[in-house]
Amino acid sequence: MTKIFNRGIVFGEGFCNRTQETQQLLANVNNITHTLLISPRRYGKTSLALHAVEQAKLPYAHIDLFMKYDKEVIIEEFCQGVGCLLAKIISPGEKAIRIIESLFKNLKVALMLGDKGLEFSLTPVVTKKQDNIKLLLLGVNDLLIKHKKHAIIFIDEIQTITESGVSDEIEASLRFVAQKTQNISFIFSGSSRHLLGKIFEDRSRPFYKLCQRMDLQRIGDTHYKKFINKFARKKWQQNLKDEELREIFYLTKNHSYYLNILCEKLFTQAKIPDLEIINECWYLVCQEEQSAVAKDMEFLTPKQKHLLSEMAKAIDLKEPTGKAFIDKVNLTPRGVSQAIEILMKHDLIEKLPDGSYRIIDPVLEYWLQ
């Protein structure tokens, strides 16, 4: 059986549900409504965006800014993404180079061999580095107008620019082009709700009111049950029992990344897994991920760690400043409120629509318990 459950970006059969989100993204793309996708890390934002992009059947650039803080590296990432996009708009060749150079006055253009054939290599030549992204995107827009085409630019982990030193220039450039264009649909994604709030919700920042916001939630039991059993029937010629499925959902809390890792282990079993096997495999997942989640807590004070531990043990916690809970954590209501603000800022916990608090990472919750 083809590998379905994996730790990276999912494609094809491995993509579960997200039907409504995909339809909304496609509608936004077609209407030139720029979109901001928000969720904690490893919820499947990139997979969703690329899934929608592939369905749109439009030329696109995927610009991934994850862990790219240096302004030179960010500009290089934009150039690489746009170079790939240009090859989807106009066939690479010497004639195409002359056309691009006539539109992109700030670039030196050459051909290079990319993952999917010939692409354009773009090197900025403008002295004022902050102008490069604006001129780069305006050149794309002009080329699309010339060829009467529509394209998508997907900028992943956009919050990284806040630490680049040129965030103001990048935001202003992107907003200028996004407001001007009728040929480019922008999709932005990010995982730090605190930083994204600064970029997109501050009235004084260029991105204010630029995008439709889409908050990505976890996929529900019903969709995952149908999805997992589809492949269980292929692997073992039968469905998993409801009891086993409930255990999978309980352990992973339907967190896409961890559900995929757990199922990846379960689907290597010769026989359909029972509760014992599911828990053994989950323990292995938690052991493998232990050092990674421990790093998320390194910056916390002992009191904040203790609070997080008690939150992990609490059931349906809605009143963290109530007497029963503050007695457990030995903090004042103000101290609890301040600590929760820090934990939410760093995306360690989240507040659900019903008012309860949840540890975002189920492996972190496992070890805290």
Residue ranges per structural domain of the chain: 18-215, 221-295, 302-368
Residue 128: its pLDDT value, please? 60
Which range (3-7, 156-160, 189-193) has the least confidence? 3-7
Over pLDDT 70: what percentage of the chain? Answer: 98
Contact 15, 4 (CB under 8 A): no
Residue 70: its pLDDT value, please? 83
> What is d(CA 325, CA 209) in angstroms, rounded to the nearest whole number?
39
Residue 300: its pLDDT value, please? 93
Contact 364, 358 (CB under 8 A): no
Confidence of residue 237 (pLDDT cuts 50, 70, 90): very high
Residue 284: its pLDDT value, please? 97
Please give the model's pTM, rounded to 2 decimal places.
0.92
Whether the predicted pLDDT of 103 surpasses 80: yes
Whether the predicted pLDDT of 129 surpasses 70: no
May I ask the CATH architecture of the domain 302-368? Answer: Orthogonal Bundle (1.10)
Confidence of residue 77 (pLDDT cuts 50, 70, 90): very high
Q: What is the pLDDT of residues 271-309, one digit of tens each?
A: 999 999 999 999 999 999 999 999 988 999 999 999 999
Residue 116: its pLDDT value, please? 73
Q: Which long-range contacts (CB under 8 A, 24 or more apart) does 228-233 make?
A: 228/263, 231/1, 231/4, 231/267, 232/272
Residue 2: its pLDDT value, please? 65
Whether the predicted pLDDT of 126 surpasses 70: no
User: Residue with structure tokens 């970029």?
Assistant: 199
Residue 268: its pLDDT value, please? 95
Over pLDDT 90: what percentage of the chain? Answer: 70
Q: State the average pLDDT over residues 52-74.
A: 92
At the topology level, CATH places domain 18-215 in Rossmann fold (3.40.50)
Confidence of residue 130 (pLDDT cuts 50, 70, 90): low
Q: What is the pLDDT of residues 323-353, one digit of tens each?
A: 989 988 989 999 999 999 999 999 999 999 8
Q: HEC string of the chain?
A: CCCCCCCCCCCHHHCCCCHHHHHHHHHHHHCCCCEEEECCCCCCHHHHHHHHHHHHCCCEEEEECCCCCCHHHHHHHHHHHHHHHHHHHCCCCHHHHHHHHHHCCCEEEEEEEECCEEEEEEEECCCCHHHHHHHHHHHHHHHHHHHCCCEEEEEECHHHHHHCCCHHHHHHHHHHHHHHCCCEEEEEEECCHHHHHHHHHCCCCCCCCCCEEEECCCCCHHHHHHHHHHHHHHHHCCCCCHHHHHHHHHHHCCCHHHHHHHHHHHCCCCCCCCHHHHHHHHHHHHHHHHHHHHHCCCCCCHHHHHHHHHHHHCCCCCCCCCHHHHHHHCCCHHHHHHHHHHHHHCCCEEECCCCCEEECCHHHHHHHC
**Cα distances (angstroms) measured from residue 99 to each of 102, 117, 141:** 5, 20, 14
Confidence of residue 121 (pLDDT cuts 50, 70, 90): confident
Residue 95: its pLDDT value, please? 87
Q: State the average pLDDT over residues 32-61.
A: 95
Residue 104: its pLDDT value, please? 84
DSSP lists the bridge partners of residue 61 as 153
Work out the number of other CB atoms within 10 angstroms of the CB of residue 231.
17
Contact 289, 260 (CB under 8 A): no
Q: State the average pLDDT over residues 83-92.
A: 91
Confidence of residue 310 (pLDDT cuts 50, 70, 90): very high
Whole-number mean pLDDT of the chain?
92
